[in-house]
Amino acid sequence: YRYYFPCQRWLAVEEDDGQIVRELVPVDEAFVKKDSENDGQSLATLGLEQKAKSTTYTVKVKTGDKKNAGTDANVFITLYGSKDDTGIVSLKASKINKNKFERGKVDEFTVESVDLGDLKKIKIGHDNKGNSTGWFLEWVEIDAPSLGQCLKFPCGRWLDKSEDDGAIERIIFPAELQTKEYIPFVPYEITVYTSDIFGAGTDADVFIVLYGSDGICTQQKSLCLNKREQRMYFERNSVNQFIVELEDVGDIIEKIRIGHKGGGLNSGWHLDRVAIRRLLPNGK
């Protein structure tokens, strides 16, 4: 039996979500064969199928406000859940700071993985390479939208060969009293069609809000992760598809709000239409 693992995504610190390792799940052979006869758009759809089967975690890491607390070493993390673990993930692309793990700073990373179930513990450490390697880790916070949970993992210890117990990796557990609960998110497949008229495309930051019945609505969410994607997508006569994790507004979407934040040279946009599909865990 042959297994097909499409990816169609970057493994690069400065692209996509910054991950350089990806977990891939197999798709049906017929799906691959069918798509190979089509165009690049359907190939990209295969990558989105993978993304829809993944769970996104936002990982915030706080370096302590002590002398020499920051580190230049390479930091890694493993998330352990009731069903699975992520394996070792390098925390390379901080969304907030160019220089990561500096004294008193919070860094934010995206970790994408198959469904781990309930998060039980994490292992975090560094490779002790570089000039100043010792690190004082205050805490780690993990936001798991698909679980509707934000968990705090307090540490308050050195990861330093010459401090504390000399360990440079630690297993830490969530502080139950600091867990924040909210409505779990679900993945939505959002397909955006830009019109075929002169000047229709935009390089602006396009966002969307979904509204369900009973006044439920999602947060405002940008469809592109960075400026490079903004330049790539929403070209004249293009079809762009996104998998976006948002609050579950229920079976009926009563309306959407879509727009952009202006700015830049080519911000004006002629939007033809938008198609939205709510993806449930059983693949509906």
Task: Give the model confidence (pLDDT) of 174-199 as tens digits.
Answer: 999 999 998 889 889 999 999 999 99
CB 154 within 8 A of CB 80: no
pTM > 0.85: no
Q: How far apart are CA 68 and CA 8, in angstroms?
A: 41
Q: Which residues, other chains included, contact 140 with Cβ-Cβ below 8 Å and sequence gap of 6+? A: 59, 60, 61, 62, 77, 122, 124, 152, 153, 155, 172
Please give the pLDDT value at position 282: 46
Which residues lie closer than 8 Å to 114 by C-beta, 6 or more apart?
A: 23, 25, 53, 54, 55, 84
Q: What is the DSSP letter of 13?
A: T
CATH code of the domain made up of 55-181: 2.60.60.20
| DSSP per-residue letters across 88-117 | -EE----SS-SS-S-TT-EEEEEEEES---
Q: Quick check: 17 and 51 in contact, CB under 8 A?
A: no
The Cα 122–Cα 140 span in angstroms is 9
pLDDT (tens digit, 9 = 90+) per residue, 130-179?
889 999 999 999 999 888 999 999 999 999 999 999 999 999 999 999 99
The H or E element that residue 32 is part of is helix 29-36
**Percent helix, strand and coil across the chain, each to the nearest 5:** 10, 40, 50
pLDDT of residue 46: 66
Asked if 2-40+184-278 and 55-181 have one fold, the answer is yes
CATH topology of domain 2-40+184-278: Lipoxygenase-1 (2.60.60)
* Residue stretches of the chain with pLDDT short of 50: 35-37, 282-284
Q: Where are the domains of the chain?
A: 2-40+184-278, 55-181
Closest by CA to 119, choosing from 63, 59, 159, 62, is: 59
pLDDT at 29: 67
